[in-house]
Amino acid sequence: MKKIKFNFNTKSAAAWTTLAGTVISAGVGILTALGVTVDQTQATTITGVITAVISLLTAFGVLVAPTDKKE
């Protein structure tokens, strides 16, 4: 059986932003399907917090942005 290899750059801020957005959307979708009401402001707040954390990690050099110089 062939192993599945994921192409995920763990140092990329864009990759983490995309993954976080997907997880948030899936979570809201699952909760809505289960009958839990998710207010739009709650989802926006969670997205904002995660984006802020990713931005901080990029600013401190833990993650890289596409605008960073390549050495």
pLDDT of residue 7: 80
Which residue has better confidence, 55 or 8?
A: 55
Tell me the pTM. 0.76
pLDDT in tens, 15-68: 999 999 999 999 999 999 999 998 989 889 999 999 999 999 999 988 888 765
Q: How far apart are CA 23 and CA 51, in angstroms?
A: 13
Confidence class for position 71, pLDDT limits 50, 70, 90 = low
Q: At 29, phi and psi to the nearest 5?
A: -65, -45
Query: So what's the pLDDT on residue 20?
Result: 93
Of 11, 25, 4, the residue nearest 54 (C-alpha): 11
16: tokens are 């983490």
